[in-house]
Chains A and B, each alone.
Chain A
Amino acid sequence: MGRRGDLATKSRDGAVFELRSGQFSLMVLAIRHLDLLQLQTELSDHVGSAPALLQGAPVVLDLNPLSQLADHGLLKDLVNRVHQAGLRVIALAANPGVEAAAVALGLPLLGLDRKRTRVIEEVPAIEAPAETAIEIEPEPAAARPTEITGLQPPLVLPGPIRGGQQVYARGRDLIITGSVSAGAEVAADGCVHVYGRLNGRAMAGAAGDLRARVYCLSFAAEVVSIAGNFKVFESAGRDIAGKAVEIFLDDGRLEIRPLKI
């Protein structure tokens, strides 16, 4: 019988290490164009404008907005220039194409782990296995559009997600077929869908994807965040409270729009 949490720590008293999960909020530096000189100049100015906050700050380098993949040399150059501008790259968020280059630079690649979806406090998960999802399509692999090969099945959980529970869908969407209680946290690297009341906290685009969105049938959230842009709702406005809404980033601003159903 497994023991966990506070009960497990007791038996490990005196052990050399303790392995536990932690959550940190990090800045994400998204690269839109591969103009390295301009990047370094602009970034240096930016760091110079708020050195107390930014000098030496750890960042995750997001290469997803780039249409073309950086090769090894280019990636190394890019990381060096970011370092010279004063920031410290601690990981990459990118598609699998740069994996080899990332390994060569000794940087971990985030948002890539496709097999494992971590649920921090275990909720009995009903997960569509990746294999089944692929088998449904009888077409030969070559005939499929290339975008779909990287498609991850969403993490589907029955509600309610209770206060104190945390759920994180790594590298995929999260679908809750029920409500999210006050004090619960639901997060995904993709979109978050709540087919019920959203009372707790919802985080979409947790690895920095600015296109991620949050949907719910009845809005009463405490905090909503998309790619680190968050908003606290001490009380939701009358136009959105209890309504079905869509939440997205519009030029870095968190927008909430009632859904007409």
Chain B
Amino acid sequence: MGEIIVVTSGKGGVGKTTTSASLACGFAKRGKKTAVVDFDIGLRNLDLIMGCERRVVYDFVNVIHGDCTLKQALIKDKRFDNLSVLAASQTKDKDALTQEGVAKVIDEMRNEFDIVICDSPAGIERGAFYAMYFADRAVVVVNPEVSSVRDSDRVLGIMSSKSRRAEQGQTPIKEHLLLTRYSPDRVEKGDMMSIADVEEILGVKVIGVIPEAPEVLSASNSGVPVILDEQADAGQAYVDAVARLLGEDRPMRFTEPKRKGFFQRMFGG
């Protein structure tokens, strides 16, 4: 039986889709049979970040409506043959999702894959609700700023009271925080919330810290998830996060301001 992991946040623009794409590639690279599902019906994006937008024939809503089989709708990644993408519909809206329909697709995927990543839309409406409803684990993506932290708190509350695990009285969804767009320099100056601040407010441990870096944007634009950029700090930070999600112990990196060299310290710059 595969594991369902929801990537969610409440707030928009914090890096959910970037994270979903990178975690999916990371798990696939570690040999896990992985699928990643776009729950943002009507605002399809994951296929772009994964670089398979020209190959979308059938989508999630088609599978729910029985227009095609799950197998026909899954798009195989060109880089990893154990990685598949299920795109969202661009023409439908979120009302196309029904509990029975989503349950059927998720259960089928659970049998087929080791890990299924559900990329949640922003907000707490239908799409976001179904993305988290069936989850076993949650990666809550949060930026180190107050509005993102508050929205994450709300989402954690909904997961703990309204998910299938909560309704059926099973062990709760396992919660992880992933801090993105982190800038150690700004934290040191006191402009940005620190890892400890966010952990304290939300009462959940951070599983990874992704530094704010220009490579993240260029990776998204070129359809190559940033985790595959081995030179980039952000890519390496995602590799570490995947390892921790697989139960490995890795020290946090890129969370301290970069030390300046001798000459820079002497002459500024």
Contacts and interface: CB of A to CB of B under 8 A. Distances in A.
A163 B164 contact: no
Contacts, number: 57
**A contact patch SS:** loop
A160 B162 CA distance: 15
A178 B203 contact: yes
B158 to A, nearest CB: 7
B195 to A, nearest CB: 18
B99 A163 contact: no
A124 B172 contact: yes
B129 interface: yes
A22 interface: no
Contacts of B187: none
B153 A181 contact: yes
A125 to B, nearest CB: 10
Nearest to B159: A162
A66 interface: no
Contacts of B125: 6
A123 interface: yes
Contacts of A179: 203
A106 interface: no
B234 to A, nearest CB: 29
Contact of B157 (A2, A4, A5, A181): A181
Contact of A122 (B150, B161, B172, B202): B161
B217 to A, nearest CB: 30
A248 B99 CA distance: 47
B154 interface: yes
Interface in B157-216: 157-158, 160-162, 164, 166-167, 169, 172, 201-203
A124 B99 contact: no
A183 B99 contact: no
Nearest to A2: B167
B126 interface: yes
A48 interface: no
B154 A162 contact: yes
Given A121-B161, A165-B157, A181-B153, A3 B99 contact: yes
Contact of B169 (A124, A162, A178, A182): A124
B203 A163 contact: no
A205 B162 CA distance: 28
A53 interface: no
B153 A183 contact: yes
A153 interface: no
B54 to A, nearest CB: 35
B156 interface: yes
A182 B160 contact: no
Interface of B: 99, 103, 125-126, 129, 150, 153-154, 156-158, 160-162, 164, 166-167, 169, 172, 201-203
15 contacts: A1-B103, A1-B164, A4-B162, A122-B162, A124-B166, A160-B153, A160-B202, A160-B203, A162-B156, A162-B157, A163-B150, A164-B154, A165-B161, A178-B203, A183-B154
Given A4-B162, A122-B166, 10 more contacts: A1-B167, A6-B125, A7-B129, A123-B160, A124-B160, A160-B203, A165-B161, A179-B203, A181-B153, A181-B201
